Copies of this chain bind each other. A is one copy, B any other.
Amino acid sequence: MINVAVNGYGTIGKRVADAIIKQPDMKLVGVAKTSPNYEAFIAHRRGIRIYVPQQSIKKFEESGIPVAGTVEDLIKTSDIVVDTTPNGVGAQYKPIYLQLQRNAIFQGGEKAEVADISFSALCNYNEALGKKYIRVVSCNTTALLRTICTVNKVSKVEKVRATIVRRAADQKEVKKGPINSLVPDPATVPSHHAKDVNSVIRNLDIATMAVIAPTTLMHMHFINITLKDKVEKKDILSVLENTPRIVLISSKYDAEATAELVEVARDLKRDRNDIPEVMIFSDSIYVKDDEVMLMYAVHQESIVVPENIDAIRASMKLMSAEDSMRITNESLGILKGYLI
């Protein structure tokens, strides 16, 4: 049983904490949180031990949320830390993980240099085995990598061109904009996503363009892949259909808009209406000779959760890629094939 700490308890942290609780080989020793908001209060009520920075102890005590100790106490209690602190804060914590000799999993908001390796389970689990510091790439990069590494099984991926329409904020983030504008992110090519894909697959010819749209539910990607060989649509469809963490969305049941996909998740009674799988629109798959075009949706709040779980096992050398992904998928109800 591995003792896991989660440092940071926001959108990603609370989901990773829930996922750790569901793993047969892991124990959640506690979470670290800086402000006593509703997320902290609900975590406390669910019996999760909350650790806070020294300067936050008073705020928590005034809010009636008991404090189990400091963030350093939490790290000491654990075998490994999943750092889900805000962008850039993980790098500030790294010296503490180093000093206390604890392995750590960072998120895609950190620079690649923070870790020994950038990680996507379907692409490079084996390379990450035993690495003390692993960085799970961001939600958009995770979706790109899952798709690229899966299509790569049919024929070597030689070139990727993609347009990323990004959600502007998570649903709970009421202070962020824009509310009625499209914002190039940035108006130069390539966007940082291409470089981030290259942090996992070196030497791939990839260029990405990104734009922020006023929506909170999901991202969408529009991708064009050039392969080494001519392929058939049925082969692409088949490999996508048989890869867990990718689900297909058919137009048959009238659920294609991101708001409708959220409604499907609600009707399926998924926790927090999360869909951690990449959602590929099966009717969008277009194949011409060595070229594949397709569209998919990405649930930014949950897609990296299974990756974090696998990164823990890779870092601690607990088991093979296949075993880890199978246990993660089963414990979290992650599907392959058609979502409905």
Residues of A bordering B, CB below 8 Å:
14, 35-42, 45, 63, 171-174, 179-180, 216, 252-255, 257, 259-260, 262-264, 266-269, 271-273, 340
* Majority-rule SS of A interface residues: helix
Separation of A253 and B35 alpha carbons in the complex (Å) = 9
* Interface pair A260/B340, CB less than 8 Å apart: no
Q: How many monomers of this chain does the complex have?
A: 2
With a CB–CB cut-off of 8 A, which chain B residues contact A36?
253
Query: Do the beta carbons of A340 and B42 come within 8 Å of each other?
Result: yes
B179 and A267 form a contact (CB under 8 A):
no
Residues in chain B near residue A173, CB distance under 8 A? 259
Residues of B within 8 A of A42 (CB): 264, 267-268, 340
Q: Which of A40, A172, A180 has the most CB of B within 10 A?
A: A172
CB <8 Å contact, A172 and B273: no
Name the CB-closest residue of B to A37: B254
Q: Can you name 21 A-B pairs with beta carbons within 8 Å?
A: A14-B267, A37-B253, A37-B254, A37-B255, A38-B253, A38-B260, A39-B267, A40-B253, A41-B253, A42-B268, A45-B340, A171-B262, A174-B260, A179-B180, A180-B180, A266-B271, A266-B272, A267-B272, A269-B271, A269-B272, A272-B273
How far is B22's CA from A269's CA once the two chains are assembled, in angstroms? 15
Shortest distance from the beta carbon of A257 to any chain B beta carbon, whole Å: 4
Q: In whole angstroms, how far apart are the Cα atoms of A41 and B179 in the complex?
A: 34
Query: Closest chain B residue to A64 by CB distance?
Result: B252
Are B340 and A259 in contact (CB-based, < 8 A)? no
Query: Does B216 contact A38, Cβ atoms closer than 8 Å?
Result: no
Chain B nearest CB, measured from A35 CB (Å): 8
> Provided the pairs A14-B267, A254-B38 are in contact, do residues A171 and B259 lie with their beta carbons within 8 angstroms?
yes
Of all A-B residue pairs in the complex, the 10 with the closest CB atoms, nearest first, are A172-B263, A38-B253, A266-B272, A38-B255, A174-B257, A37-B254, A42-B267, A180-B180, A174-B259, A41-B253
Q: How far is the CB of A29 from chain B (nearest CB, A)?
A: 20
The interface residues of chain B lying within 8 Å CB-to-CB of A273 are 266, 272-273
Q: Which residues of B contact A263 (CB under 8 A)?
A: 38, 171-172
